[in-house]
Amino acid sequence: MLKRLFKRLSPARIIALGFALVILTGSGLLMLPCCINQGQTLRYIDALYTSTSAVCVTGLIAVDAGDTFTPLGQFIVALLIQVGGLGVTSVGAGIIMLMGKRINLKGRNLIREASNLDSGRGIIRFVKSVLVTTLTIELIGAALSFIVFVQDFPPLKAAWVSLFHSVAAFNNAGFDILGNLQNLIPYHDDVLLNLVTCALIFLGGIGFLVIKEIIGKRFRWKALSMHARVVLSVSGILLAGGTLLLKLTEDISWLQAMFFSFSARTAGFSTAPLSNFSAAGLLTLTVLMFIGASPGSTGGGIKTSTFFVLLQGIKSAATNRSEKAFHYAVHRESFRKAATVAIMGIAVVTVGTFLMLVMEPGLDFIDALVEVVSAFGTVGLSTGITPDLSVGSKLLSILIMYTGRLGPMTIATLWYFSKGERVEYPCGNIAIG
């Protein structure tokens, strides 16, 4: 019966169900006594919140992972981050391949849907390259981070902290196990750790397709596809612009400004308390968080390519010229999809912020906005209000994180049952502007 039900479900519904099952399983595991440090108490809502934040690679925390969880509990959090970053379908496909079994057509379609691939050709090779690339980058990141952490921790502890940090950074999840809710603030002036973390965030945020293309084309710009050029160009502009704006609005170093510009693009690590940021600085971070990372990556947000297509569409409408970039034309249907994603994202943020302000009347508007956008963009940055939120607000945040990880378009298609319209109506005229 389950097999028949599985065949009837659309790829989007299977992916959504898979993420939900992993979240619920993770929350149950985190509640086990062997996962909680002695003297610490963990409510189920906080376990569910932590599991959701990990699987959705967000980084918002209701409890400190370093203080609350034992090494086993921290390992489960890291595992949930890894599964969430790679995607349930990619991890499942990897396990199937390790068992020596073949992936059927349904499984291939699932991977294609989850990875934003145009076709089903070469899917098995793609999954293998994703797993190998992830393992290689995370091990290199852990080795470089170890150079910093071994100065403050015993070698074995430093190795685990380094590996956890590398997994969290590459998968764009701002978790840490340093304790005391300090995140990376003690290392705000450590150039090596800042640069390694930024590199991991950037690689995880541009997407596996772009990483594969850069390596395959040997870093030759003209040989890259339009998608890769758009992703790299927009990412570079946002990172440079974010660094400049944050430095102008906040009393922080250039290194911290650059770090926050990288981190706000869905990673969520911080090297300074956001509670000290000005409204202008928080607004800058909010915009960066809303745009987010790139398609097929470990990050969230509406995506850099969506933002680019929106700008091209607006430019085309204003100048009455066709949409084009890098000697390629932009498909007109792309603007429609980009506008849909952006409007649905704005709707989620608006409704979410309104509901949180209703449930938390003592919150400032900017604090609630940052919290909701951070959840939607699966970022993890917060002004420090997360642990004190009510159960209702945490459930709202869980729902927003889930929506942000799957994407508003995917959530919308879960309720789509129609097979097409049978009646066509004549076009009517509507005044615009």
pLDDT at 376: 93
In a domain, 43, yes or no: yes
The yes-or-no verdict on residue 382 having pLDDT over 70 is yes
pLDDT tens column, 242-294: 999 999 999 999 999 999 999 998 888 999 999 889 999 999 999 999 998 88
pLDDT band of 2, cuts 50, 70, 90: very low
pLDDT grade for 422, boundaries at 50, 70 and 90: low
The pLDDT assigned to 405 comes to 85
In a domain, 28, yes or no: yes
In a domain, 3, yes or no: no
**Tens digit of each residue's pLDDT (9 = 90 or more) over 44-57:** 999 999 999 999 98
> Predicted confidence band at 374 (pLDDT cuts at 50, 70, 90)?
very high
Q: What is the model's pLDDT at position 137? A: 93
Residue 420 lies in a domain: no
Q: Tell me how far CA of residue 170 lies from CA of 19, 82, 200, 379, in angstroms.
A: 19, 9, 5, 13
| pTM of the complete model beyond 0.75 | yes
Chain segment 154-175, per-residue pLDDT in tens: 999 999 999 999 999 999 898 9
Domain carrying residue 327: 13-411
pLDDT band at 101 (very low <50, low <70, confident <90, very high): low
pLDDT tens, 315-364?
887 887 777 777 777 877 888 888 888 999 999 999 999 999 999 999 99
Residue 57 located in a structural domain: yes
What phi and psi values does residue 226 have, to the nearest 5 degrees? Answer: -60, -40
Partnered with residue 36 across adjacent β-strands are 69
Would you say residue 167 lies in a domain? Answer: yes
Q: Mean pLDDT, the chain, as a whole number?
A: 85
pLDDT at 74 over 80: yes
Between 226-249 and 279-291, two packed helices, what is the crossing angle to 10 degrees? 170
Q: What is the 3-state secondary structure (H, E, C) of the chain?
A: CHHHHHHHCCHHHHHHHHHHHHHHHHHHHHCCHHHECCCCCCCHHHHHHHHHHHHCCCCCCCCCHHHHECHHHHHHHHHHHHHHHHCHHHHHHHHHHHCCCCCCHHHHHHHHHHCCCCCCCCHHHHHHHHHHHHHHHHHHHHHHHHHHHCCCCCHHHHHHHHHHHHHHHHCCCCCCCCCCCCCCHHHCCCHHHHHHHHHHHHHHHHCHHHHHHHHHCCCCHHHCCHHHHHHHHHHHHHHHHHHHHHHHHCCCCHHHHHHHHHHCCCCCCCCCCHHHCCHHHHHHHHHHHHHCCCCCCCCCCCCHHHHHHHHHHHHHHHHCCCCEECCEECCHHHHHHHHHHHHHHHHHHHHHHHHHHHHCCCCCHHHHHHHHHHHHCCCCCCCCCHHHCCHHHHHHHHHHHHHHHHCHHHHHHCCCCCCCCCCCCCCCCCCCC
Does any domain span residue 342? Answer: yes
Report the C-alpha gap between 399 and 23 in whole angstroms.
12
Stretch 384-392: mean pLDDT: 92
Please report the pLDDT score of residue 261 as a whole number: 95
**Rounded CA separation 113/127 (Å):** 13
The total number of structural domains that make up the chain: 1
- For residue 249, the model assigns a pLDDT of 94
Query: What Å distances lie between residue 153 and 69, 146, 179, CA to CA?
Result: 18, 10, 13
Query: What pLDDT band is residue 198 in, cutting at 50, 70 and 90?
Result: very high
Q: What pLDDT does residue 10 have?
A: 65
pLDDT at 412: 61
Mean pLDDT computed over 100-120: 59
Average pLDDT over residues 11-38: 88
The larger pLDDT score, comparing residue 406 to residue 32, is at 32
Q: What is the pLDDT of residue 104?
A: 60
Alpha-carbon distance of 58 to 371, in angstroms, equals: 11
Residues 6+ apart with CB under 8 A from 130: 86, 90, 115, 208
Does some domain include residue 427? no
Least confident of 18-22, 85-89, 123-127, 387-391: 85-89
| Segment 203-208 mean pLDDT | 86
Whether 96 has a pLDDT exceeding 80, the answer reads no
The token pair at 275 is 């509670």
